[in-house]
Structure 1
């Protein structure tokens, strides 16, 4: 309450806040609390707004020389009545605790879901970018161990296993093949590039070498000499590929070397069908894997004389148009070479010799029906037991299609496999090695690479 003296008169001025509290007490005494609360809120809001407008007008109309105490008095912050702050507190406290807990739990669950989705997307992307060798046929333990790629091996380990690379078991145009024995007694085959200097090894050569490793790692078939690892070293310069080993030599040796054990007719059929299933599998990969070479020297035999087709050459002719829709020159060439291999297995003759010339020309008279087809079989086979002519006739039908002079009229490798399955009724299980040392070789390679 403020007492003002104007002249001889005394006047009493009641502040606005006091007037408001008097109003509240009067309303409460009348017992109309609920409606008064609404009136109170409106009154407070209107008074507050009126005070703000008055302060604004005073600020704009006041001269710049206004005293500091007057300026601060007009700009002093206004405090809300206690009843207004209490109303806000009561309103916020009216929110139930379970609603707060529900909001918190929902937020946590949302974060967990978002994190899980991000993790799955990142994991899937990493999985798509990794090389997955041996997509089929391996045990679960080894498949997990090699899921990130083919293991890289040290030159020292391979040099010790191959006895300083002294045991040569084969040669091709661009590599030599050595036999090696790991510390566990498991035998391996090591293909080594003849290049001995980094100056002779171009970036293109390195790219082809890496592509070869990636390609072979995807094959994995029981009738294939599967890739176990590789070796790169700059001093001394080394580029090597490590394969599983087949101990009974090559098909070439058993067909053409007198000292080697000769193969009977059922064994020859089992070998050729093993190669057929392997080539069919390679043709079904995405993209298809087409070997550069197919002959009796590239087929090795296990202890039970099952076929192990090998692709140990370092280079591959990849200048052909990769955008060709279905067929390529390499596929047509493999089909033709398969026909020649069939003739070689049937007749026991070399694909070419100075005495008899080309095997295709020699066999043409039998294939055309000018000579009895039974006389076409290997004399070694005829000396032991006659070869069923129905088998010969069915295989010769396949040969005619494979060696057609017009490449476009030759069947695909998939079609050849279908024809062979009808001619030689052997299942894939009957053509696979019974005692396969691949598992132990992979296990030893894995332990060697990790040390």
Structure 2
């Protein structure tokens, strides 16, 4: 995996004495999408920020599903979407890297990972639920003791407008985009997986609706900017000391 909207693995350390295994990932300092949607103390996400995040997730999933063989996220939800310094989306799937590492090291955790089924169709369903969560601001599993997915499915099946259910913390939103997004969500959470669109089709449709391309959805800063600044600071200090 190597996508700008994915929390990529940048290093792996293996030591036998003492036994140590360390994986180093890119850093996304602004926490998770879940926190910003549901924790009052977190930074508020306006409509434009939510759209950009959704587009980053869509482009990343499109990339994952077009790999050979396709790669599906094992547990796609708002808590597995991290946000960078400029609030771009970074999907995390540590089970993917555990899988890759276990394959190389022969770890017995491979059997556990293989017991967790996932496929592109289930990712598309989850993406639709995340879109609904971002628009309504509702917690995924706190809707009258049921799931947000079930509530969304019932609500959209009745073809009701989402305008009445928009997150009340949003001071403004684009009504024309909202109605078109409702249709995308409805298609994503279709009860028959065979009738769901592909992520390529979804990403293209969302780009048409929002006018946010891949470049607009990617982080503007390097995920290693903090390390680069530290190196520059150290080099500058060394130069001063040598004068």
| TM tier, smaller | 0.7 to 0.9
Higher relative contact order (CA 8 A, sep 6+): 2
Match of 1:367 in 2: 156
1:240-255 superposed matches below 5 A: 240-255=22-37
Match of 2:192 in 1: 406
Mark the CA change 1:424 to 1:267 in structure 2 (over 3 Å): closer, same or farther: same
Whether contact under 8 Å (1:244, 1:441) holds in the other structure is no
C-alpha separation between the residues in 2 aligned to 1:420 and 1:279?
13
Match of 1:265 in 2: 47
Residue 135 of structure 2 corresponds to residue 346 of structure 1: yes
Whether contact under 8 Å (1:356, 1:362) holds in the other structure is no
Superposed displacement of residue 363, structure 1? 2.6
CA deviation string 1:182-220 (max 9, x = no partner)? xxxxxxxxxxxxxxxxxxxxxxxxxxxxxxxxxxxxx21
C-alpha separation between the residues in 1 aligned to 2:53 and 2:191?
26
CA deviation string 1:356-407 (max 9, x = no partner)? 52112333454134644201211101xx22x222211111111111111111
Match of 2:123 in 1: 334
Mark the CA change 1:353 to 1:440 in structure 2 (over 3 Å): closer, same or farther: closer
Match of 2:219 in 1: 433
Mark the CA change 1:312 to 1:393 in structure 2 (over 3 Å): closer, same or farther: same
Whether contact under 8 Å (2:71, 2:120) holds in the other structure is no
Whether contact under 8 Å (1:227, 1:243) holds in the other structure is yes
Query: Of the candidates 168, 178, 194, which is equivalent to residue 379 of structure 1?
Result: 168
CA deviation string 1:197-246 (max 9, x = no partner)? xxxxxxxxxxxxxxxxxxxxxx2111111110112334544333211101
Q: TM-score, normalised by structure 2?
A: 0.79
Mark the CA change 1:319 to 1:369 in structure 2 (over 3 Å): closer, same or farther: closer
Residue 146 of structure 2 corresponds to residue 357 of structure 1: yes
Whether contact under 8 Å (2:73, 2:118) holds in the other structure is no
Superposed displacement of residue 432, structure 1? 1.2
Match of 1:397 in 2: 183
Greater fraction strand: 1
Match of 1:422 in 2: 208
1:272-283 superposed matches below 5 A: 272-283=54-65
C-alpha separation between the residues in 2 aligned to 1:295 and 1:319?
19
C-alpha separation between the residues in 1 aligned to 2:164 and 2:154?
11
Match of 1:223 in 2: 5
C-alpha separation between the residues in 2 aligned to 1:288 and 1:335?
13
Q: Which runs of 5+ in 1 are unaligned?
A: 1-218, 321-327, 445-451
Whether contact under 8 Å (1:363, 1:376) holds in the other structure is no
Paired positions, count: 217
**3-state SS of paired residue (1:357):** coil
Superposed CA RMSD in Å reads 2.7
